[in-house]
A = this chain, B = another copy of it.
Amino acid sequence: MNIDQMQFAHRFDGISGSAIREIFKLLAVPGMISFAGGNPAASALPDETCAELARELLLDKGKVLLQYGATEGYAPLRESLAPYLKERFSFDCKPEEILPVTGSTQAMDLLCKALIDPGDKVVVENPTFLGNMQAIRLYQALLVPVDSDENGIKVDELEEVFKKEHPKMLYIIPTFQNPTGRTLSLERRKKIAQLASQYGVVVAEDDPYRDLRYAGQELPSIKSFDTEGWVAFMGSFSKVISPGLRVGFLAANSTLLRKCTIGKQSSDVHTANLNQAIVDAYLRRGLLAPHVKEICLSYAQQMNTMLGLLAKCGGVARYTRPKGGLFIFAELNEGMNATELMKKCVEKGVAYVPGTHFYANGGHENTFRLNFSMSTIEQIKEGMEKLNQVFTENC
């Protein structure tokens, strides 16, 4: 039979791969200033510390780390995650309620695997992280977008949707959201925990940016207000240690976590032990806090420089003013098209991500996302000037 007759699964109908990851491939041009990614700065990646830790850990317990591990995770890491979650995210959680995963994308995948049948509804913020929208779509769920404002997702609309649509899950990034940089208010956090429990909706709380705070006060997680167990918390070390190590975690009630663990047996058996042990060493030896402090100093300057220049940028109607994270979200004047203008920008040597990709139903062609973490102050100045030129000429 001709190979062209190979039949693929229906879950791929309409799925063409991450638009962002495709855009990244266009950027491998020398000298390109990229505001498109969401990567940590090279200077934020602790190569020397990780080199020494990896060697030490492998010499010390290589026979354990190189052997098969438990799907449930590397026990020392689960033990050091419990107090970390208490301290940083304000919720109590036993080590056995935490599942280390191969990056928090896997946590999203496992939650969908555990919960979603084709046709189930999943509420997402409008706009939200497109990678996880794809993960949800691959489970053939229907995405139900709910708009957000400067305080995060609109909870009144959310309650209406919970009431009318009976979704299985809400996917939400409460702190320094991707792509908007917005943070969900304290009141709304409480309200969402209460709604989840009232309507029986699992909340997938994704909080990878929380430690990257440059101003303002920390807020407790949605999960800290969860009394029943409807909130599943997904965390990541990609933004504060290294994305290349692929270590995140999922904290959830034990029945849900058990399903996710069984799902993980068939996904990758377990997360690589060495990678878990490196993260464990960061937590156990108090290496994380000073490292994060150092990163934040620099990211804050980068963000503030970009915000200052955005205020003077032609064609920009409005933009978010985050207190942390990696992203600023902006809107061009009505009628301007960020996808089309992106081509001109790339020709000039600067890139961003058109905002339309972050909306479940597309549209919003005049929006775009800017990242500042991967560019130096000089590059930010130069790149923003290029944006200013293109936008001014086309507004």
**What is the interface of chain A, defined by CB distance below 8 A to chain B?**
1-12, 15-18, 21, 37, 39-40, 42, 45-48, 50-52, 54-56, 58-59, 62-71, 102-103, 105-106, 108-109, 113-117, 131-132, 134-135, 138-139, 168, 197-200, 202, 228-230, 238, 241-246, 253, 255-256, 258-259, 261-263, 265-275
Query: A39, A58, A135: which has the most chain B beta carbons within 10 Å?
Result: A58
A12-B47 contact given A1-B197, A21-B71, A242-B66, CB 8 Å threshold: no
In the complex, which of the residues B9, B50, B115 contacts A116, with contact meaning CB atoms closer than 8 Å? B9
Whether A68 and B197, one on each chain, are in contact in the complex, defined by CB atoms closer than 8 angstroms, is no
A7 pairs with B168, CB closer than 8 A: yes
CA distance A392 to B273 in the complex (A): 41
* Contacting pair A138 B266 (CB below 8 A): yes
Name the B residues within 8 Å of A65 (CB-CB): 47, 244
Partner of A1, one of B109, B198, B246, B275: B198
Q: Could you list 27 A-B pairs, sorted by A, with CB under 8 Å?
A: A1-B197, A1-B228, A3-B228, A3-B229, A3-B230, A6-B230, A8-B114, A15-B262, A18-B262, A18-B265, A42-B67, A47-B62, A48-B62, A51-B54, A51-B59, A54-B58, A54-B274, A66-B244, A67-B244, A68-B243, A69-B244, A103-B269, A113-B138, A132-B266, A134-B266, A267-B268, A272-B275
Complex: A139 Cα to B266 Cα, angstroms: 10
Instruction: Report chain B residues within 8 Å CB of A229.
Output: 3
Closest B residue, CB atoms, query A246: B272
Q: Which residues of B contact A269 (CB under 8 A)?
A: 103, 105, 131, 243, 246
Bound complex: CA A158 to CA B202 (Å): 44
> Given the complex of chains A and B, what is the CA–CA distance between A105 and B263 in angstroms?
12
* Residues of chain B lying within 8 A (CB to CB) of residue A262: 12, 15-18
Are the C-beta atoms of A267 and B6 separated by less than 8 Å? no
Residues of B within 8 A of A109 (CB): 266-268
Closest 10 CB pairs of A and B: A47-B62, A1-B200, A51-B58, A66-B242, A54-B54, A135-B266, A55-B55, A45-B66, A244-B273, A102-B268
